Structure 1
Amino acid sequence: MLSCGRRDDVNVPVWLWLVTIVALCAVILVDLFVVDHKPHAVTMGEATRWVIFYLSLAVVFGLGIWAFYGGVSAGEFFAGYLTEYSLSIDNLFIFVIIMAAFKVPAEHQHRVLLVGIVIALIMRGIFIAVGAAAIARFSWVFYLFALVLLVTAYKLLREHGQEEKEYHENAGLRLMRRVLPVTKEYHGHHTTVKIDGKRWVTPMLVVMAAIGTTDLLFALDSIPAIFGLTKEPYLVFTANAFALMGLRQLYFLLGGLLSRLVYLSYGLAVILAFIGVKLILEALHENDLPFLNGGDPVPVPTVGIALSLSVIVGVLAITTVASLIKSRSVAKRDAAAAAQVTDAEPAAVRGPQPHETGQGAHSWSDRRPATDNP
């Protein structure tokens, strides 16, 4: 059973792991073979319904943890889930770039994200198992995790506002292209296709691998972050699973809203730095390194899960509100500037307006562009 005590008191039964994994597989199969049975561009309404579904699923799961295992374990799950979800939102910027770089058709983007995220979930499961084993054996791993989080927080602050970089394929994808023959064009949703008796890989498989392997890099900071909130591998895994499963629908729902979250990296930097400091304090509090305080615990205060959850929720709320206010202010300013430029243009330059020619509300973009021919 889950325990609110120390790490060695925790004992998650095997059947609970099996039931959880089977349930996750069932959700993935329903999504893949029912929802994505007919490839289509995901609508805003459809994405909204699925985001609400996955959020509700996470809340119900968290309440179940609360009912059976107590408020501390539930608080750890919710804190971990919110942290992983917020970090995943920041990762959506990269997913947008990958989709654009591979020119993925809109009707196939849902399948690409689903399979890519399944790959990511498997990889994160391996990371979590390795991380849990390392924590159980080496106390200094906390200091390493804390260093990773503090460095990541610094990078987020330093890179804020910099121009978005182009996507470059990693070494694994370049090796895939050298080893496997890849077609230049998509063939529906197929990942492989037979041409003239030879089996080819389509760009669909490559972009799925790109999403999955790119998330592996994101896990290098998100996994240490959640281990700073809970040492229970089951909570770490389920928080990651719920965050990733709801991520692909959030991709379609947010759309242009991503560019409006201008202060998101600041908020994430604060959260990661906070968790990094929390890890250092906990490591000192349970110190067994012989060169620190003679191997005895250092009497430093520790941060409880209630305070951690409050800080995470508060920072995300402030970041989101401040970002939307800033974006709205910039949009108004740009609109006012555009209006002034338009008013200052001579009528001859602008040409006759629709209301002046009696053409009603037709847009200039509806007209065919002029040719260069005389």
Structure 2
Amino acid sequence: MDDEAKKSRPLPLVDEQERALHAFHDMRERVPARVRHLDAIGRMAMERAVRILRAYFVDHRSSAPRRGTLHWLMLVGDHANTRTRIKWGYEPLIFDIWAFVDHEAYKGLDRYWGRAQAVLKSELGRAIAIELSVFTIAEAERFHRTNPWLAERYEGGIILFDGAIDPPRDAQSQAIHDRIAAAAEALDEPPRTAFAQYRRHGFDLARIAGALETSQAEAEMYLAEAFGTLLATLGDDARPRSLRPALGGHPRYNLDLYHRPGDFDRILAVTLYRRAVDFVGMMVEAHARDRPSLVVREAAYATEFALKTLLLRAGYSDDWNRLQIGLDLERALEETQANGLPSPSEELARLIPPLTRYHRDGRLTGQSRDILAIMPPAEIVETVATLLADVGRMTGYTGLPGEDDA
């Protein structure tokens, strides 16, 4: 090898330093983006706490018994409720963080973590306090069987650090991350910019809309389009290799894409609204073609998606909607009323019960005739279109195109 070629080769130490610096800046952005419901002081404290706790779980031993691995850190309790804006006042904010390791010697509140607790207290000052609990992975897997209270806090927690997907990554996780980065770069505009802003700042629609110079509703639409394209492009291989139990295969748990599982459900709301717009359009077209049975069918789908839009916006998950609501439009209407939807009109109250039976039982032709016997097609069209208009006003989605029109 000639001298010029040798000079052009990067030094291994330089490569390692660059990777470490990249990982440092990556986590400086990832952690605050997962806790956007905290104020600036809280977000800074979470980022600093994650950095300190990770630094104090480093295995320097060259021989057995070696220390275990820190697999993830979670924020749990009241301060993990993303529906509540958390601000520092005159009293200290006390955050409850759970750490999960694969070595029995490091569970509990003391031992190796004692030094980390002291550094946290020194670094965070009086405004912030951290209550640290340390569990083994095996304990987490038993929560659902042995302790419902711990299981509830666990499922409601926010992952601050996951060793399977956050830097530094193993080779397999790094390959998945690189695929996602390449696919994101290949997105069309404006979804590409929307996704880039989300990855840097979390689910902050005002910031995303500012970068796109558009409304927040349109910014959310472009963000949903970005995620839809990425999920379709990447497929199952993009699932994180996290050890957290009960992740399943649902897209909401793909933390290689989303900062928090709940972001999937919130972003899905605009997608369901646009589907409802499509079905209302098909309902109107069926009425114009004098196809009354089609009017009933499209009305059922439009009503389902319109009501589930409001539920997702209110903080319900897509999992909950599928398991608890399904095709039960009456139950969906009750839940949306409990979350701000005005009392239904006389027409909607009359339509929903038979439309629920029709939708839930398989949309049979005979049941559509029963509905048409109590409400003519024109009135069905007007009633469902009015419901969608109400949903549009409540969510700010009015004027967004259907998916078929994009």
Q: TM-score range by the shorter chain?
A: under 0.3
Structure with the larger helix share: 1
Q: Which has the higher strand share?
A: 2
Normalised by the size of structure 1, how large is the TM-score? 0.26
TM-score calculated relative to the size of structure 2? 0.25
